[in-house]
């Protein structure tokens, strides 16, 4: 069986099912988000590439952060440190994984552009 949709990273359909990742960036009152359908190998590579930036959320909840940008290590007192990223990963046959990061403005902006995150409209 071939996947119904193509992998959103390399653009081709694959044999078997796709997996999913949702990346949400919170910046003040704004929310930017995108869900991607990806093949297992591209998802593994994406997580490996960002493993230093995103902290796994475990059963105890969010880890205590040391006041540094989880991407570049910039001290929050030296720059605008206002962005938070939440990442949800769905792998076939496994429970959902969750990751978290606290980013300086420039790293948050890079993440928003790299993943083409879309601003969500506020719901009342």
Domain regions of the chain by residue span: 19-118
Question: Quick one: pLDDT at residue 38?
Answer: 96
Question: Quick one: pLDDT at residue 77?
Answer: 58
Global confidence as pTM? 0.86
Q: Which residues of the chain have pLDDT under 70?
A: 61-66, 76-81, 123-124
Other CB atoms within a 10 A radius of the CB of residue 81 amount to 20
**Per-residue buried b or exposed e for 39-51, using 16+ beta carbons within 10 Å of the residue's own CB:** beebbeebbeebe
């Amino acid at each position: 069986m071939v996947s119904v949709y193509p992998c959103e990273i390399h653009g081709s359909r694959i044999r078997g099912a796709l997996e999913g990742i949702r990346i949400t960036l919170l910046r003040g009152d704004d929310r930017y988000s995108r869900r991607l359908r990806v093949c297992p190998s591209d998802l593994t590579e994406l997580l490996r590439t960002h493993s230093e930036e995103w902290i796994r959320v475990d059963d105890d909840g969010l880890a205590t952060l040391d006041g540094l940008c989880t991407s570049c290590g910039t001290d929050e007192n030296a720059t605008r440190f206002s962005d938070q990223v939440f990442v949800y990963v769905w792998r076939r046959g496994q429970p959902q994984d969750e990751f978290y990061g606290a980013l300086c403005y420039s790293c948050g902006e890079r993440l928003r552009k790299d993943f083409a995150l879309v601003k969500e409209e506020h719901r009342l």
